[in-house]
Amino acid sequence: MRGNGVRLFGLVAALALLGGAGPERPSVQGQSQLAIGEYLVTIGGCNDCHTAGWNESPGKVPIANRLTGNPVGWTGPWGTSYAVNLRLLVQKLTEDAWVQYIATMQPRPPMPWFNMRSMSEPDLRAMYTYIRSLGPAGKPTPDPLPPGQAPKTPYLDALPHNPS
């Protein structure tokens, strides 16, 4: 009897490693998808980059202006990247397409896309619900630039510099 228990434990462990069993990613529980999505967007720091003026006003940007992207670029060895207008992006995507988009995106720095991939599907769906509820607003942000091309917009230099 003891040998069967060990074999069963081994099978369960093997399935867990293959993704066939094991715990799901944790997800936030709350009153509604909308409230959960707003909470995740807030604590996830989405507004830090995707809402112009967020950091300068410590979060006192009107809801009408939130997540509309930022024309200030981030410049580094990858070129220049811009925080996309999430409100326009989600208007073009279904909820399922949003989840797939997050699963496959690899935008340029400083976007922590690898953190987004660690989120549970219910949490990603809640974020989509919240962002979509804000409606379309703003303009598209500039396209990313390749290395060596100077941005025509304001930008932040993401490279550390040593004082001389």
Q: For residue 98, tell me if it sits in a domain.
A: yes
- How far does Cα 117 stand from its chain's mean position? 8
- Whether the model pTM is above 0.95: no
Largest CA distance in the chain: 73
Q: For residue 25, tell me if it sits in a domain.
A: no
Name the residue range of residue 86's domain.
Answer: 31-138
What span, in angstroms and rounded, lies between the C-alpha atoms of 153 and 148?
15
Q: For residue 128, tell me if it sits in a domain.
A: yes
Q: What is the pLDDT of residue 164?
A: 67
Q: For residue 14, tell me if it sits in a domain.
A: no
Q: What is the pLDDT of residue 64?
A: 96
Q: For residue 153, tell me if it sits in a domain.
A: no
Spell out the residues 6+ positions from residue 46 whose beta carbon is closer than 8 angstroms to its own: 67, 86, 127
CATH number for the domain including 35? 1.10.760
pLDDT, tens digit, for every residue of 75-131?
999 999 999 999 999 999 999 999 999 999 999 999 999 899 999 999 999 999 999
For 106, phi then psi, to 5°, come to: -145, 65
**Number of structural domains in the chain:** 1
Q: What is the pLDDT of residue 158?
A: 84
Q: For residue 152, tell me if it sits in a domain.
A: no
Q: For residue 58, tell me if it sits in a domain.
A: yes
